[in-house]
């Protein structure tokens, strides 16, 4: 499958007429191709994008275009619809983001991958699991853990495999395990639709309570759990410390109960 990562957004540049300049930047997911072209804001349109995508493809259009910026998604998806290309909203566009950061060094006080953070939404009550806990799996056992079990819903991107991140096999990878009970499959299917990206501990000012915030999709944020307990807060901080040691890699595991016999869904996640 041929996959592109693309961004189409204004840059801190103006043309001689004083118009803001927009830039289309395309990277191939295998890091083999970069295409860049700019236009004044008045020309930024779906039709302009259709022309540029065809020009960049040189007769070989991609199967999918991944877009991390919400403001880019509508325009690129409109062009993709006209060309028969699937357009996916996802935060996981590492090659594109790296290229954007590299080019932004010429623009002081400009963050090229910043997107507006929305306040987190409350998780619907009918999705709550019965219980949850922090867990760990050794990096060397992580992929085997998933492949050795019949887990119906799996999202283990190859780019997040420990070996791809250069993690030693004895590094401890932290995660969160949810016992969903009768709602286990419902919760796992909902998570699959949301496309989880990371699960982070947000402490209160006192650091004695807090919650877990699920970052998902392109900008979605969900309050996954809250607690007012120093013991939980201490465990949550240890979870965050372990994420530092694992280069941000962590996991989310949903299972019906704590019997370890049946598992419903598993995701590999990684902080940016």
Per-residue pLDDT of the chain (272 residues; tens, 9 = 90+): 899 999 999 999 999 999 999 999 999 988 788 999 999 999 999 999 999 999 999 999 999 999 999 999 999 999 999 999 999 999 999 999 999 999 998 888 899 999 988 899 988 877 877 899 999 999 999 999 988 888 999 999 999 999 999 999 999 999 999 999 988 999 999 999 999 999 999 987 766 778 999 999 889 999 988 888 888 889 999 999 999 999 999 999 999 988 878 899 999 999 87
Place of tokens 């693309």: 6
Instruction: Kindly provide the residue ranges of all beta strands, DSSP E only, lying in the chain, ordered along the sequence.
Output: 3-14, 20-28, 34-40, 64-67, 86-89, 121-122, 131-138, 153-155, 172-179, 196-203, 210-216, 220-227, 249-255, 265-270
The domain 3-106 having CATH identifier 3.30.420.10: the answer here is yes
Among all chains, which residue has been given the structure tokens 């830039």?
23
Query: Domain extents for the chain?
Result: 3-106, 121-270
Q: At a CB cut-off of 8 Å and minimum separation 6, what does 1 contact?
A: 63, 64
């Amino acid at each position: 499958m041929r996959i592109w990562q693309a961004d189409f957004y204004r840059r801190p540049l103006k043309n001689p007429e004083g118009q803001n300049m927009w830039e289309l930047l395309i990277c191939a997911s295998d890091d083999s191709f970069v295409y860049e072209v700019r236009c004044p804001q008045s020309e930024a349109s779906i039709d302009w994008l259709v022309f540029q995508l065809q020009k960049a493809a040189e007769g070989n259009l991609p199967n999918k275009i991944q877009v991390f910026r919400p403001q880019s998604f509508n325009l690129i998806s409109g062009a993709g619809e006209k060309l028969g290309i699937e357009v996916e909203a996802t935060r996981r566009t590492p090659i594109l983001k790296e290229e954007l950061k590299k080019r932004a060094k010429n623009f002081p006080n400009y963050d090229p991958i910043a997107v507006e953070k929305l306040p987190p939404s409350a998780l619907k009550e009918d999705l709550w699991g019965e219980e949850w806990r922090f867990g760990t799996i050794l990096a060397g056992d992580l992929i085997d853990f998933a492949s050795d079990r019949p887990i119906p819903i799996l999202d283990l991107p190859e780019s997040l495999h420990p070996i791809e991140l250069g993690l030693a096999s004895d590094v401890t990878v932290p995660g969160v395990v949810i016992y969903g009970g009768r709602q286990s499959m419902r919760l796992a299917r909902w998570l699959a639709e949301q496309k989880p990206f990371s699960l982070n501990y947000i402490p209160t000012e006192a650091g004695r309570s807090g919650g877990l915030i699920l970052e998902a999709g392109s900008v979605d944020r969900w309050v996954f759990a809250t607690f007012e307990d120093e013991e939980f807060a201490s465990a949550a901080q240890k979870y965050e410390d372990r994420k530092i040691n694992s280069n941000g890699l962590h996991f989310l595991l949903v299972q019906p109960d704590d019997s370890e016999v049946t598992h419903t869904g598993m995701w590999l996640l990684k902080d940016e």
